[in-house]
């Protein structure tokens, strides 16, 4: 590893083109790290300074934030581009046209042999009734060692097989069904009582949601894997982060207001009322893409082609146009998952279940990649509190 280069305050401020006070503000926000220098002077990490300079240049040139924030680790799995996720060099929107989640899993996991060729695992033990889908999955994953004596293995030749078994096991837990050796989209569509058109949209949604680089849940799974926690425990870590309303449960918030839209609803009036009350519009805008979520665009296209005559689907372009006019934002993947649920009258939490089933694939990929790295993930905090005299 190369030795870090440090700059003086004058050098760092000059490279950024700012006053020293602005430099100190960047330090206090954790954007630039510093170390003690000679006397009372401090030295500033040159790599942080140049990374921030690059981001500022991108903003000046495009008028918007770049797609990604500061990188914290290296990965060969997923690139976030203006076209959406790219899985090991393959655009997710291209894969979404015909691929299954299983084929995307073998791509992300860099599988040389089909890990899904094995029989489906046993079902989880009897769980308490009344659990929501994510809670049921959490308990099922915790019980995984009861049926797999090699649950704690770190052997590379076994981990992909464990990943395939855990994916099938997890989908079954989400659906409160038995694990089966059939494609995930078929199992979900069957459990939801959905027809052929819905099954194809579910398949595309699973592919588009399989991974999204270093999102919160993927990072949580990687942190656990970096301690050499077993694969099922890394998935529990990812699931814990996913369960929050700002991540995996975001489609629930979009479903909540979208469910009130009927053929007679004055959409402009409904959205104008939300705007006047200062309420956000769940399912629109994205922290990474800024303007439009390419995954949403791709899945909307699949939905439009599959259901051109559905009354709600016919209203969707108008609804999206009104939202853009009033809120200035484009739909994200959560809105389209909610629209899928409404179009096909799928059960409660269907959008969230589809998203979670897909993202299990990405968490497994991140855990496998992290197992191959020697370092434990241990980021540092930028302390901004009081210091002793």
State the pLDDT at residue 41. Answer: 83
CATH 1.10.1660.10 in the chain is located at 6-62
d(CA 357, CA 340): 15
State the pLDDT at residue 1. Answer: 42
pTM more than 0.75: yes
Indicate if the alpha-carbon torsion angle 296, 302, 305, 311 is positive or negative. Answer: negative
Q: Which two tokens stand for residue 39?
A: 């006397």
Question: Which listed CATH number (1.10.580.10, 3.80.30.20, 3.40.50.2300, 3.40.50.620) goes with 74-389?
Answer: 1.10.580.10
Q: Which two tokens stand for residue 74?
A: 């290296």
CATH 1.10.580.10 in the chain is located at 74-389
Question: Reduced to 3 states, what is the DSSP secondary structure of residue 246?
Answer: coil
State the pLDDT at residue 68. Answer: 46
State the pLDDT at residue 60. Answer: 54
Q: Which residues lie below 8 Å from residue 293, measured CB to CB, with a gap of 6+? A: 84, 286, 330, 331, 332, 333
Residue 29: which H helix or E strand, with range?
Answer: none
Q: Per-residue pLDDT for the chain (389 aa), expressed as one digit of tens each?
A: 457 788 988 888 888 888 888 888 888 777 888 888 877 788 888 888 888 877 666 555 445 554 445 567 889 999 998 899 999 999 999 999 999 999 999 999 999 999 999 999 999 889 999 999 999 999 999 999 999 999 999 999 999 999 999 999 999 999 999 999 999 999 999 999 999 999 999 999 999 999 999 999 999 999 999 999 999 999 999 999 999 988 888 889 999 999 888 888 999 999 999 999 999 899 998 888 877 899 999 999 999 999 999 999 999 999 999 999 999 999 999 999 999 999 999 999 999 999 999 999 999 999 999 999 988 998 877 777 888 87
d(CA 188, CA 353): 9
d(CA 251, CA 353): 10
Q: Please, is 279 exposed, middle or buried when counting C-beta atoms within 10 Å of its C-beta (0-12, 13-18, 19+)?
A: exposed
Dump the DSSP string for 247-271: TTTHHHHHHHHHTT--TT--HHHHH
- Residue in 276, 277, 295 with CA at minimum distance from that of residue 355: 295
State the pLDDT at residue 27. Answer: 85
State the pLDDT at residue 69. Answer: 52
CATH top-level class of 6-62: mainly alpha
d(CA 111, CA 382): 39
């Amino acid at each position: 590893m190369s030795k870090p280069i440090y700059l003086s305050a004058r050098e760092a401020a000059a490279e950024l083109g700012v006053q020293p006070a602005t430099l100190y503000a960047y330090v206090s926000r954790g954007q630039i790290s510093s170390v003690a220098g000679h006397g009372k002077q401090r030295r500033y990490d040159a790599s942080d300074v140049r990374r921030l300079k690059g981001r500022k240049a991108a903003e000046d040139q495009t008028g918007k934030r770049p797609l990604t924030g500061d990188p914290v680790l290296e990965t060969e799995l997923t690139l976030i581009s203006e076209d959406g996720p790219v899985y090991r060099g393959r655009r997710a929107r291209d894969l979404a046209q015909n691929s299954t989640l299983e084929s995307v899993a073998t791509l992300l996991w860099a599988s040389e042999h089909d890990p899904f060729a094995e029989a489906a695992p046993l079902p989880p033990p009897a769980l308490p009734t009344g659990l929501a889908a994510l809670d049921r999955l959490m308990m099922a994953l915790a019980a995984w060692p009861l049926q797999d004596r090699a649950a704690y293995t770190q052997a590379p030749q076994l981990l992909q097989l464990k990943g395939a078994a855990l994916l099938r096991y997890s989908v079954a837990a989400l659906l409160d069904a038995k694990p089966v050796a059939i494609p995930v989209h078929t199992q979900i569509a069957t459990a939801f009582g959905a027809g052929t058109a819905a099954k194809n949209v579910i398949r595309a949604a699973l592919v588009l949601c399989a991974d999204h680089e270093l999102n919160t849940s993927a990072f949580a799974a990687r942190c656990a894997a970096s301690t050499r926690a077993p694969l099922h425990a890394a998935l529990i870590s990812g699931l814990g982060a996913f369960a929050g309303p700002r991540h995996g449960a975001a489609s629930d918030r979009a479903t909540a207001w979208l469910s009130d839209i009927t053929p007679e609803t004055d959409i402009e009036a409904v959205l104008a009322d939300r705007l006047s009350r200062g309420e956000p519009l769940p399912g629109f805008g994205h922290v990474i893409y800024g303007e439009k979520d390419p995954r949403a665009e791709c899945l909307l296209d699949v939905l439009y082609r599959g259901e051109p005559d559905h009354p709600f689907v016919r209203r969707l372009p108008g609804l999206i146009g009104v939202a853009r006019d009033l809120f200035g934002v484009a739909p994200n993947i959560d809105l389209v998952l909610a629209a899928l649920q409404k179009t096909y009258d799928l059960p409660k939490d269907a959008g969230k279940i589809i998203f979670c089933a897909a993202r299990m694939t990405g968490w497994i990929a991140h855990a496998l990649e992290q197992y191959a790295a020697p370092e434990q993930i241990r980021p540092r905090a930028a302390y901004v509190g009081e210091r002793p005299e």
